[in-house]
Structure 1
Amino acid sequence: MLEVAAESNRILSVVGQNRFLDPMMKLKHTLDSGLLGKIVHAQVDSFWWRGHSYYDLWWRGTWEKEGGGCTLNHAVHHIDMLQWMMGMPQTIQAVMSNTLHDNAEVEDISIAVLSYPNGSLAQVTSSVIHHGEEQQLIFQGERARVSAPWKVYASSSKENGFPERNPALEAEIELYYNSIESLRYRGHAGQIDDVLKAIENNSLQVLIDGNECRRTLELITAIYEAATTAKPVSLPLTKESKFYSRESFLANAPHFHAKKKSVAAFGTNEISLGGNYGQS
């Protein structure tokens, strides 16, 4: 798809609507402002909860049909936002398990640690076993921490190295965050607007192009490889990786359980979506 887009000189944009939420856009700009100093640690909690029957639906719970478990199908947007804000790591270590859904081949929790070239670390938990579905991204900087949902806390060092709160820096960061103009369109509408503007301006520049999508998928693939092999995985992935192609991925993915039940549909179509990160 990337090759065809380049050859035909056309826009390729992949859905990542959560980037077009005010809390995420403002958080990204705040991180880029340099007010926090070096970002040294990120914590991504992609917490969801799904009952046992969730994987009874015919296409869920198998590597062949669903492509993966919570890491791919629930945490993908959080992982996308992490790589948008922090860039690509150098190595990934991970573990995963299926703790509560014995009607699915795939994982219902994974925990990954990402190491960056500058020494910074990030941890990502992808889950469908967390009650309350509390979702957040927290970034610890050299001078302060910020997060979505929005919260800021800044520390200064006493003479003996112990912390004291820095309200002046907190106020400066708050002022910067609140000065960022709110988006005219949010979520899917915001991304559609981004693509339409590119078309109107005869530009190929969109916030989420094919290369951005590939990076997010590469991170997820590396998490699966690291968790399956119990070895650190270096990025970028090469074609020698046993998880590089769909065929080799399916051949090497672990099967936690056999899918025991398959239903065509559920009696109710009511679903829950992720958090709004404090957005009104």
Structure 2
Amino acid sequence: MTKTLRVGVIGAGIAARHLSGFGWNPELFEVAVLCSLDEDRGRALCEEHKIAEYTQDVDTLFARDDLDIIDICTPPDSHFELCKRGIEAGKHVICEKPLYGSIAEVDAMIKIVGRTDRLLMPIFQYRYGTGLQKLKYLIERGLAGRPFLTTIETHWWRGPDYYAVPWRGKWKSELGGGLLGHAIHAHDMLNYVHGACAEVFSHGTTLVNPIEVEDTATLSVKMENGSLAALSMTLGSRKEISRLRFCFSDLVAESVLEPYTMGRDPWTFVAGTGEHQARVDVALAEYKNEEDGYTRQFQLFHKALIDGTEPPVTLQDARRSLELVTAAYYSHRTSEPAAMPICADHPLYHSWLPEAAPGLR
């Protein structure tokens, strides 16, 4: 018999998408309580998703013994402390992106979690789009060949109304700009396919809105597997697109252009010869479709909890994503290439915020 895990959700913004993901898995999860300081939005979500309890008192969630999971959907600057409290209260934890504000905090959380039998899963739901999963499937079957070049475009639009939310656009509360809060999903897909980055040279600037953080950037990346990547991000694209293009020796894979669901089908997979295209097509015909997005990530998290295995997205995965952000900020400020991994002796290891490293502005 399937065990239903009870969840307490903190937040009422991106939490709406989490609640939909839980809702598609009713036999796996029951959201028992939602906590939000915004009472209007919080109660509306409770009504929409049939959540029995609403509260504004976050302390009560950690004190309860009838919750298996705390799901953190709050602004970024609160993530570390809430995760720490959740783990130390004996709960499993799910946390939205961007996970934390430094590599040091990720490493600290790895130690905190390692002292317990609890699991912490960062959110990278874009990994589970069917198109991207098909690419992983082809790679695993040896049908892609040697990786050459990846290009990723995150070209979205964010106007003044977006930054009317008080915590957005500020280093202290949002912790970063488009690299951290918008392109991070697409850039995680780079790591998901190719593994760790080795070096980045980046330019970043603020062009679109009068905010503190970057809204436009380019990154030239060397991967540890020897391939190269060219990444671009802007929040000043009147036509919003996301595009991922992976060039291998035997295959080119290209995503759809849909800005917020670019991991989903229909991706195109073009082989170098007719014979190899036939092999690719046969493999794709045998691919078994699964749920995608939050729904799939939550399914896999439930399985990990029941089986006692690693979560589908790990703290090490989140570390890699934040290493790329940290290295890009370092390169922005020094006009030099930045090597990875980011270790404890790196100038931005403890924080990439400008006030934390004033000599690198």
Q: TM-score, normalised by structure 1?
A: 0.80
Q: Which amino acid aligns with 2:185?
A: H
Which residue of structure 2 lines up, in the alignment, with residue 128 of structure 1?
235
Match of 2:183 in 1: 75
Instruction: State the distance in 1 between where 2:250 and 2:359 align.
Output: 42
Give unmatched runs, 5+ long, in structure 1. Answer: 156-165, 257-280
> In the alignment, is residue 189 of structure 1 matched against residue 306 of structure 2?
no
TM-fit CA distance, 1:206: 2.0
> How far apart, CA to CA, are the structure 2 residues paired with 1:52 and 1:131?
14
Q: Following the alignment from structure 2 to structure 1, what is the Cα–Cα distance between the partners of residues 284 and 354?
A: 42
In the alignment, structure 2 segments of 5+ residues that lack a partner are 1-108, 257-266
- 1:92-122: CA deviation from partner (whole Å, max 9, x where unpaired): 1110111121x20111111101112443101
Query: Could you say what secondary structure the match of 1:219 adopts?
Result: helix
Contact 2:305–2:311 under 8 Å retained in 1 = no
| Structure 2 counterparts to residues 63-212 of structure 1, below 5 A | 63-101=171-209, 103-149=210-256, 150-155=267-272, 166-183=273-290, 185-201=291-307, 203-212=308-317
Deviates more, 1:53-62 or 1:190-199: 53-62
- Structure 2 CA distance for aligned equivalents of residues 214 and 130 of structure 1: 29
Between Structure 1 and Structure 2, how many residues are aligned? 243
Choose which of 121, 133, 137 in structure 2 pairs with 1:29: 137
Taking only aligned residues, the RMSD between alpha carbons, in angstroms, comes to 2.1
Counterpart amino acid of residue 21 in structure 1: G
Assess, with a 3 A threshold, how the Cα gap between structure 1 residues 253 and 56 changes in structure 2: closer, same or farther. farther
CA deviations 1:196-243 (Å, max 9, x no partner) are: 111222x13222011111111111111111122111111111223222
**Structure 1 segment 222-237 matched on structure 2, within 5 A:** 222-237=327-342
Contact 1:10 1:204 in 2 (8 A): no
Picking from 104, 110, 114, the partner of 1:6 is: 114
Q: Counterpart amino acid of 1:119?
A: G
Q: Which amino acid aligns with 2:253?
A: V
Q: Secondary structure at the match of 2:238?
A: coil
236-245 vs 136-145, greater mean Cα deviation: 236-245
Q: Which amino acid aligns with 2:300?
A: D
Residue 315 of structure 2 aligns with an amino acid whose one-letter code is G
The 3 A distance-change label for structure 1 pair 254 and 28 is: farther
Q: CA deviation at 1:254?
A: 10
Structure 1 SS opposite 2:288: coil
Percent sequence identity over matched residues? 26
- TM normalised by structure 2 equals 0.63
| Cα deviation 1:36-91 (Å, max 9, x = unaligned) | 21011001111211123322321111111111111100011111111011111211
Amino acid at match of 1:221: T
